[in-house]
Structure 1
Amino acid sequence: MYELDGVFEPGAHSGLVQWGWDQREGEYYWLVNRLVNPDRWPVIARSEGGQPWDLFDMSTAEVVYRVVADPQFKPYTVANPPRRSFYLPYWQPFPPSPEEWEALTSPDRNP
């Protein structure tokens, strides 16, 4: 877990710049430091608002890859479980229950 300097502002020495978020309410930031080359800025993330921050000493590209493709990259991964996409006509109500949502997005569902 990591303590933050706050949001980066012009003229500041360091701070946070948000560059992404995901479907599971994950937030992704660079920890900006003017004395460090931008391609070396670490990634800071938290899985939900108010949760403790995690510091990743890896490139942004590696963080994105692991979020998308690595089921072990918890709690940030969106790779596990893989869900099927589906289409609903504009007039059809959104699935009202978690059970219906699971049935529609199940990887075992026949297309």
Structure 2
Amino acid sequence: MADKQKVYPRGSIAMGNGVLMTVTNVSVDLNNNAKQVHTLRSEADGIFFGPQETTISFNFVVNEEGLERDFIGMLQKKQVKQLRIKVPGKTITTNGAVRSVRIEFAVDNEIGGTVEFIGKTEET
């Protein structure tokens, strides 16, 4: 039975024409803003679905060549971009914009940061 091991592949994140190579961690949050509806006569009578929202956060590192993409410029210019999150059997395509960029560095660590991206996810 030892030879019956599953392989767990890595996912990827792409922006525009190419895969982001310096990303170290990705988080995708899809939210349909559903809420429970109650009436005077009946608790938990139904569900209301609000507008769908998507937030994608990812961490990155910076090598000696600089930032892989100009995330700060995208934020300042309010540019609309497309992100594609790829996992086996599914691609999540989101059109949106960079909401925030955080850069961090310390004396004993590489330069890195976090990007928060918000937008609308296409039907999959």
Query: Would you call these one fold, judging by a TM-score over 0.5?
Result: no
Q: TM-score, normalised by structure 2?
A: 0.25
- Normalized per residue, the structure richer in helix is 1
TM-score by length of 1: 0.27
Q: Considering fraction of residues, name the structure with more strand.
A: 2
Where relative contact order (Cα < 8 A, 6+ residues apart) is larger, the structure is 2
